[in-house]
Structures are given as structure tokens and as C-alpha cells.
Amino acid sequence: MAMRATEQEAYTSILVVAAHPDDEALGCAGTLFRHRSSGAKVHVLFLSDGEMARGASDKALVRRRLAMAEAAAEAMGGLSTRLAGFPDNRLDAVDMLDLVRAVEAEIAEHNPDLIYTHHPGDLNIDHRHAHQAVMTACRPIEGRGVREIRCFEVLSSTEWAGPGLGPVFEPTLFIGLDDAAFAAKRAAFNAYAAEMRPMPHPRSWEVISALAVLRGATAGMPRAEAFFVSRRLVP
């Protein structure tokens, strides 16, 4: 389904739970820009810094990554961000209860009606645990405000996973990217330039742009970002 503007504007508080800084830009930068343009508040929780698994012991590299995240947040329309500080690419070694509590704390503070997070079938272990933490924190108990959970795709993780790791990403929602939203996605990509790669790597702008065109063509639009809707509640 394509997302109409009136449906997009129905959400006033958005939470993004991303395993690492840059996942949010790769997965849903244009869509987050659209939310901000419609007046919604958008907050991003990064579960880990995305650096330490590379053997980086220099805190300056972590600070650089977080500075890139802040620049990307501005490019997407002014998002607020927070780092939970869990170990990079080792979320499987963290008690799930601790991950869930971190997500629950953000939900309590920001009261989101919509959450974006990773797809459960991604290759990256942190992505899969981020998804599980969100689904656990958002158990549909009466009185909770989260009405919808959407899973985004992250190039170099979602498409690299085999079916044995979990469900294959099959989008059920397509959100169109007009020129302004697509420019915001490019600006967020540029903010994370140190994390990107040249063609034919999936994290090159050429591939990211091609995916936006493919997802758009799938739904009869020039460009789009695609999502799998894990849950949608209509009281």
C-alpha cells in the first residue's frame, strides 16, 4: 500500500529504535523527513555506537560517529537522538530484559504512537535483537499508546540474510519520496559519508538511489521507502 499524506500526518510522536548510527538514515531517512515536515516529533534511540566491534578503542571514533548522527538528524528535519551504550555487534550477549527496559524508558518519555525498527530477518545480530526488544516492549496491553510498528530495510544486512535466519523482507507499506524527502535522504547519506562505500557496495549512493526507485516503481511512484508492518492497532 502507498501512504497517503493524511495517514502520514496522523502520527504526532515517532520513535526510531536503531541498532547503530546510520541504520536510521539507510532505512527511513526520507520518511522521517516527511514526519518532521508534517509537524511530528521524531526521536531516535541508538542501542550501540557502531564502532567498538571494529576494534576501535579510541573514544574519538565514537564521538565522530555520534557527530555524524547529529548531522544526519538535522538533515532529516531535526530529530532528537540518544545513545543507549550497549556493546556494538554484541547485543546477543546483553540480557534481553535490559534491551527491553531501554526501549520502554524511551516509550515512557516520548509516548510514541508509531515506532520504526529493524526487520527480524536481518543478517546483523544487533538488528534482530533490536526488533525483538521493540516487540517485547510494545506488547499490546490496554492503555499503551503505540499504535503501529514498522520495520525498515538496511542495505548490506537485510538483503544479505538467508531465509534460515528468519523471515525474508517482504514490504507491505510503501511511502513515497518527493524531491524534498529524497534530498533529505541524500543529505543524511552525506552526513554518514565515512560509513559509506563506493559502487557496487550496497552502501553506495548509486545503490541506495536505485533501491528507492525500485521500491517506488513497485508501488507506482517515482521513488519510495518500503516497510514491513509488524503491527497496526485501530481502536
Q: How confident is the model at residue 107 (pLDDT cuts 50, 70, 90)?
A: very high
The whole-number pLDDT of residue 53 equals: 62
CATH architecture entry for 5-230: 3-Layer(aba) Sandwich (3.40)
pTM (2 d.p.): 0.94
Taking the C-alpha atoms of residue 33 and residue 223, their distance in angstroms, rounded to an integer, is 14
Q: Are 45 and 15 in contact (CB under 8 A)?
A: yes
CA atoms within 13 A on the CB side of 104: 12
Three-class SS of 188-211: HHHHCHHHCCCCCCCCCHHHHHHH
Per-residue pLDDT tens over the stretch 49-94: 988 766 655 678 888 999 999 999 999 999 999 999 999 999 999 9
Name beta bridge partners: 232.
148
Kindly tell me if the per-residue pLDDT of 118 is higher than 50.
yes
The whole-number pLDDT of residue 5 equals: 47
CA atoms within 13 A on the CB side of 142: 0
Q: How large a percentage of the chain has pLDDT more than 90?
A: 83
The whole-number pLDDT of residue 2 equals: 55
Q: How large a percentage of the chain has pLDDT more than 70?
A: 93
44-53, 165-174, 200-209: lowest mean pLDDT where?
44-53
Per-residue pLDDT tens over the stretch 150-182: 999 999 999 999 888 889 999 999 999 999 999
Sign of dihedral through CA atoms 208, 202, 54, 195? negative
Report domain extents, the chain: 5-230
